[in-house]
A = this chain, B = another copy of it.
Amino acid sequence: MLKKGLLGQVIQHLCCLPGVGPKTAQRMAFQLLQRNRDNAKALAEILLKALAEIGHCQQCRTLTEQTLCEICADPARELALLCVVESPADVWTVEQATVFKGRYFVLHGHLSPLDGIGPDELGLDALEQILAKGEVKELILATNSTLEGNATAYFIGELAVKHKVQASRLASGVPMGGELEFIDRVTLLHAFKGRRNIE
């Protein structure tokens, strides 16, 4: 009975956030409506603004409110390196973790014929246009290391060959801090295959 009303609706909609169940949503709702009203208002308003204004970068297809995202608009970024990722979140992850100074191309998914996601949905025609310009020297395929991610990387690798661009794939292996005992067989196989000489 109590779940009706505006408060109930707020809780219900908070439940759609990743990792938020009814109990957490309830705690969030009370915090937003009682202790933190100013921030709650700001959050709702900025969310509406973002939904209205944020679209895809014309060049790399990541999320941005401008025509070109900050990375594509940055003249200091190398044109010769292009990193292909599955989602805008991956762009952030790579930016935060590495010293990559090239540009990105966001697929917004991976090849999945059963779901009707083919090359057109991933914007591979736009990617081919970029490759055809001849500025890109290396295409880094940073799709996820899953069955679908690998298949997508393989498919895009063929495009790179067609346009005579060097394609590379992120290394597979034992994660830093990982113990051999707990590594799965396939990862260990890749780690052995990709072993490097100590200099």
Using a CB–CB cutoff of 8 Å, the interface residues on chain A facing chain B are 1-2, 4-7, 9-10, 13-14, 16-19, 24, 26-28, 30-34, 36-37, 39-51, 53-54, 63-65, 70-71, 87-89, 91-92, 95, 108
| Contact in complex: B30, A64 (CB < 8 Å) | no
| Contact in complex: A14, B30 (CB < 8 Å) | no
Copies in the complex: 2
With A6-B65, A89-B26 as known contacts, state yes or no: A43 contacts B34, CB within 8 Å: no
User: Which of chain B's residues have a CB closer than 8 A to the CB of A30?
Assistant: 63, 87-89
User: Which of chain B's residues have a CB closer than 8 A to the CB of A4?
Assistant: 70
| Contact in complex: B26, A18 (CB < 8 Å) | no
How distant is A25 from chain B, measured CB to nearest CB, in Å? 10
| Contact in complex: B27, A18 (CB < 8 Å) | yes
With A4-B70, A9-B50, A70-B2 as known contacts, state yes or no: A16 contacts B44, CB within 8 Å: no
User: Which of chain B's residues have a CB closer than 8 A to the CB of A18?
Assistant: 24, 27-28, 31
Q: Name the one of B28, B33, B34, B63 contacting A17, with C-beta atoms under 8 angstroms.
A: B28
User: Which of chain B's residues have a CB closer than 8 A to the CB of A27?
Assistant: 18-19, 89
How distant is A175 from chain B, measured CB to nearest CB, in Å? 17
| Contact in complex: A5, B45 (CB < 8 Å) | no
In the docked arrangement, what's the CA distance between A51 and B64, Å?
Answer: 29
